[in-house]
Amino acid sequence: MHSTLTEHARCLYGDEYRPTPSRCGADHADHYFIEELTFADAESILAMLHELCPHMIDGLLPVWVRNLAYRLVLLQRPDEPALMREAAQNLWLHGPDWDDIAADLAGRAEALDAS
C-alpha cells in the first residue's frame, strides 16, 4: 500500500526526477489509482501534480490523469482563479483538443478576479 496519492502515482507511472520504486503491491492497475484519485482531497491531488509534474510540461503522468486530476480539484475548489489558470495552462500545453475548455477556464478566472 501507499501512504499518499503521490507515492501511488509514482509507483504506477514513474517519476522523471526520482527513482521509481519497485511495484510494491497488488494495487497496480489504473483503476485502483483512479479510485484513490477520485476520492482524494484537493491538497493531495495538487501535491501529486506539483511533485510529479513540477514544470507542467514534464513528468510521466499520462495526460488523461492530469486532466482528470485538475477537473477533480476544480470541482472541490470552484472559485479559485489561480487553479483555473493552472488547469487551463495544462490543457493548452497538452493538445489543442481542449483549447475551448482552457479558454473558458481562463475567462472564468478573469471574471472572478474582476468581481
pLDDT in tens, 82-105: 999 999 999 999 879 999 999 999
The angle that helices 5-13 and 30-38 make with each other, rounded to 10 degrees, is: 160
> How many structural domains is the chain composed of?
1
Percent of the chain's residues with pLDDT above 70: 92
Cell of 59: 513528468
As a whole number, mean pLDDT of residues 74-78 equals: 97
Owning domain of residue 99: 5-114
Q: Model-level pTM?
A: 0.91
DSSP character for 54?
T
Distance CA 87, CA 68 (A): 10
